Amino acid sequence: MEDNKPWALISEVGEQGYIEEVTDIMKKHFQIICHKDFLQNPQLHGPKIQAMFVWNAFPEAEPALLGSLPSLKVVANGGVGIDHLDVPYINSLGVKVTNTPDVVTDATADMALGLLLASARKIVEGHQIAVNPKTTHIPQSLMGVEVAGSTMGIIGMGRIGCKIAQRGKGFDMKILYHNRNRRSVEDEQALGASYCENMDDLLKESDFVVLAVNLTPETTGLISHRELSLMKRTATLVNVSRGLVVDQDALVKALHSGTIHAAALDVTHPEPLPRDHPLLSLPNVLITPHVGTNTYTTTRKMVQKMVENAVAAVKGQPVPNEVKPN
C-alpha cells in the first residue's frame, strides 16, 4: 500500500522543521522525503515527487529545485503569507500553489494580544526581576500602560485583523481600523470598530498600532519615518504581519529618540536578526521569533490543510485553498 502513495518533499522533521507529532498526518497520504535525503540523489527521487510542502519558507521553491521535479503538481505552503513564493513562475510550470487561511487566525490574534499585553505591562521585565537572585525589592519603576480603555488601531482588517479586534473589544479597548476595503456595517458593529479611511488618522489617535497586513509591494516599508512620527509618543507598535512591513532603521531611530514608546514584534527581517542588530539591545522592544502560529492545535490544523490541498491537486480535483497570482 505504501508504494501507491504519492511522494512529497518536505524540509525536515525536528528542530528547524516539522514537529514529530504532525508527521502522521502527512504519512497517511504521502510518502515523505526530507530535503537533505532528496539531495543525496535528486535524479532518483526528483521524478517521483508530486507535492512539495513548504514550512517556514523551506524547502526554498527556487528554479533549480523546481526544475528537478518534473512530476510536481503542487507547492503547499504552511501559513497564509506566500511572499517567499513566486506564484506566477510556479504556475508557469503547471504547478499549483496553496496556503492555509483560517486555521492560523486565532493563534496569530492571540499572539498579537499577548505581545501587546506583555509590552504594556512589562511582563518580561517583571519576570526577570522576580527570578533575579540579586532582587531584594520590587522597583516602583516597573510601571506599565493601562490597556483597558485605550485605543487600538489595526492596520489590515482581514481574518486576523478581525480576530484581533474581537479580543481588543474584550479588553474594553476602542477599536480603529484601516483597510484597503471598508468592512460591512454589520462587521463594524459586531467588532465595535471604526473605519479610518486615512491611515494617518489611525496612527495619530492610537495607543497601540497593530500590523496585520499581508506583505505585498504596497505594504513593504508601510511604516517608516513619516508614519512613526505621526504616532503618539506614548504609543506602542505591534507587528504580527511580516518584518518588511516596517522600516527597521526608522523603527530603531523612533524607539531610541522617544518618538514612540515601545515596539512588540513577532516578525523581523531577517529572522533571526543578526546578533548585533540595534533592535536587540533596546530596552523598549519585545521580540519573539515568529511564533504566532506555534501551538500544537494550530500546527496540526495547518499541516492537515496542507495535506488536503496537496491531495486534491495530485488527484486533479478542485483545490480548496489555491493561491492565484495577483
Which amino acids are annotated catalytic? 242, 271, 290
Which residue type is seen at 153?
Answer: G
Distance CA 188, CA 210 (A): 17
Q: Residue 295: helix, strand or coil by DSSP?
A: coil
CA angle 210, 212, 217 (to 5 degrees): 120
Q: Residue 2: helix, strand or coil by DSSP?
A: helix
Distance CA 282, CA 229 (A): 18
Provide the CA 47 distance to its chain's centre, in angstroms.
33
Torsion-angle region of residue 314: left (phi > 0), alpha (psi -120 to 50) or beta? alpha
| Closest to 239 in 3D by CA, of 280, 196, 273, 288 | 288
| Helix 105-120 / helix 123-131 crossing angle, nearest 10 deg | 60
Query: Which are the contacts of 33, defined by CB distance < 8 A and separation ≥ 6?
Result: 7, 8, 9, 10, 45, 49
Is the CB of residue 7 less than 8 Å from the CB of residue 33?
Answer: yes
Is the CB of residue 17 less than 8 Å from the CB of residue 58?
Answer: yes
Distance CA 112, CA 208 (A): 11
Backbone angles phi, psi at 178, to 5 degrees: -130, 135
CA dist list (Å): 308 to 21, 55, 82, 115, 146: 18, 15, 18, 32, 44
